[in-house]
Amino acid sequence: MSKTRKRQSPAGQQLKKEFPDIYAELVAGRIPSLKKALVKAGIMTKPTPVEKLLKAWGKANAAERDHFLTQIGANRTILDDHASTDETERRLIANGRYLLPHTVRQIEAIMKSRHLLPAQVMNEAGFPSEGRSLTRALAKNASLRLVVIAALDDWLRNQG
């Protein structure tokens, strides 16, 4: 039987069609990866250092961000003024025992950027056995204990 051909990504097909010389170098092994060949052809751009920094900043927690800011000698007064105006907006995370929609989005964004599960979030907040309740609260708007909501409020503040 003949060997089945691997499918090629749309970017690889575009490279083969529009830049056959660079594609030939890729196939010959002179260019080590498709991504580098796409950058050489101008189809794809390399991320700038600022883009890399923004990506890393989004994944960092509050302590890592503070450490970075002290390393570069950032002017914290401007950042603290901005944080104080947001403090009143961030204060209210729940209506009674139910998380507000912006709180759910904020928790999910932090979980996604730090690759956390609800059980890990609850463990960091001080409730190691409450992972399922947070999962239900995020997915189905289920109620949480008031103590858990207070702990989540503190956890969110620490995340920056």
Angstrom CA distances, 32 to 36, 85, 106, stand at 7, 49, 39
pLDDT tens series, the chain, 160 aa: 567 667 788 888 998 999 999 999 999 999 999 989 999 999 888 888 988 888 888 888 888 888 888 888 876 554 454 554 455 555 788 888 899 999 999 999 999 999 999 999 999 999 887 789 999 999 998 999 989 999 999 999 988 7
Q: How many CB atoms lie within 10 A of CB 159?
A: 19
Where are the domains positioned within the chain? 10-41, 49-159
pTM as predicted? 0.45
Helix intervals (H) in the chain: 10-18, 20-28, 34-41, 49-59, 62-72, 76-91, 101-114, 118-125, 131-140, 146-159
